[in-house]
């Protein structure tokens, strides 16, 4: 089922379970990030995925932190049932901000590949912006797919990741990247009262296990799960293990 919020954001619903799972993707990616796990969850839950502002279905909408949070909040209200929030990387920043508002519909929160913030974030985003301007979005996407996925991810998924990211407008990617690298998540995480699972891959060199441990310490009601043989994009590297971890968390 395809639906839209009042502000025109398109989102997709799979399954019709009494509880919902809302999935927010990472920087430069949309609902594709969850294509290996969403069908597994849809047999029991109402699974909600969408392309964030500047991506895919919603490429015409300008990205901003306020807008991304507002979109997730609007979808939560429209779904209107007990909901498990799942966010990956930038998505974890967004879902934490929604959870911190204390909506009673939020049952649990899963922050995958997360961090309290990036040291030298301004410098990092400036360097990456220069790289995009120098080589173009397609080449940048090729390099990203090669760097971020592990050897445990199939060649087909790697190619799909490249194609998804190569299709993103450079301006939208750069604006969203600035939001990612300049976010200060510590004060937000401290306000998330719902049961929260922090998930990190052992091979993640962008938000490594040490960063996940710091985040878990700040979150008031949290647990930490470490996934072997997974990098930054766990839903693509190790979908089966992520599915097992999250379903156990939701049913506990």
DSSP string, 108-167: EEEEES--S--TTHHHHHHHHHHHHHHH-HHHHHHHHHHHHS-TTS-HHHHHHHHHHHHT
Buried b (16+ CB within 10 A) or exposed e, 115-143: bbbbeebeeebeebbeebeeeebeebbbe
Say which residues have a Cβ less than 8 Å from residue 73's Cβ, sequence separation at least 6. 98, 101, 103
- Model's pTM, two decimal places? 0.97
- pLDDT of the residue at 39: 97
3-state secondary structure of 30: coil
pLDDT of residue 79: 98
Distance CA 139, CA 183 (A): 26
Q: For residues 125 and 9, is the Cβ–Cβ distance under 8 A?
A: no
CB 21 within 8 A of CB 84: yes
Residue 130: both structure tokens together: 């220069």
Which secondary structure element, helix H or strand E, spans residue 58, and what is its range?
none
Average pLDDT, consecutive stretches of 10 residues, N- to C-terminus, the chain (252 residues): 97 98 97 97 98 97 97 98 98 98 98 96 92 96 95 93 96 95 97 98 97 98 97 97 98 92
Task: Report residue 122: phi and psi, to 5°.
Answer: -60, -45
Give the pair of three-digit tokens for residue 147: 């760097």
Residues whose CB is less than 8 angstroms from the CB of residue 240 and which lie 6 or more positions away in sequence, other chains included: none
Paired strand residues for 197:
110, 223
pLDDT at 122: 87
Distance in angstroms (rounded) separating the CA atoms of residues 16 and 44: 8
The full set of domains in the chain, from first to last, is: 2-118+184-251 (3.40.50.1820)
What local confidence, expressed as pLDDT, does residue 30 receive?
97
């Amino acid at each position: 089922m395809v639906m839209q919020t009042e502000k025109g954001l398109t989102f997709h619903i799979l399954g019709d379970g009494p509880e919902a799972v809302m999935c927010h993707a990472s920087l430069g990616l949309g609902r594709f990030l969850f294509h290996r796990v969403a069908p597994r969850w849809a047999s029991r839950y109402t699974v909600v995925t969408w392309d964030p502002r500047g991506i895919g279905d919603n490429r015409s909408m300008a990205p901003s932190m306020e807008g991304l949070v507002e979109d997730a909040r609007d979808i939560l209200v429209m779904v209107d049932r007990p909901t498990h929030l799942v966010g990956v990387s930038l998505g974890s920043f967004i879902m934490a901000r929604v959870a911190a508002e204390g909506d009673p519909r939020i049952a649990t929160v899963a922050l995958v590949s997360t961090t309290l913030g990036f040291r030298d974030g301004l410098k990092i985003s400036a360097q990456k912006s220069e790289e995009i301007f120098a080589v173009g979005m397609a080449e940048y996407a090729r390099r990203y797919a090669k760097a971020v996925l592990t050897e445990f991810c199939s060649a087909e998924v790697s190619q799909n990741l490249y194609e998804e990211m190569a299709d993103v407008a450079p301006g939208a990617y750069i604006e969203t990247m600035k939001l990612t690298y300049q976010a200060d998540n510590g004060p937000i995480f401290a306000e998330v009262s719902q049961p929260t699972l922090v998930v990190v891959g052992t091979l993640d060199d962008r938000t490594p296990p040490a960063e996940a441990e710091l985040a878990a310490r700040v979150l008031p009601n949290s647990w930490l799960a470490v996934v072997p043989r997974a990098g930054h994009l766990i839903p693509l590297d190790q979908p089966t293990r992520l599915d097992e971890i999250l379903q156990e968390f939701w049913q506990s």
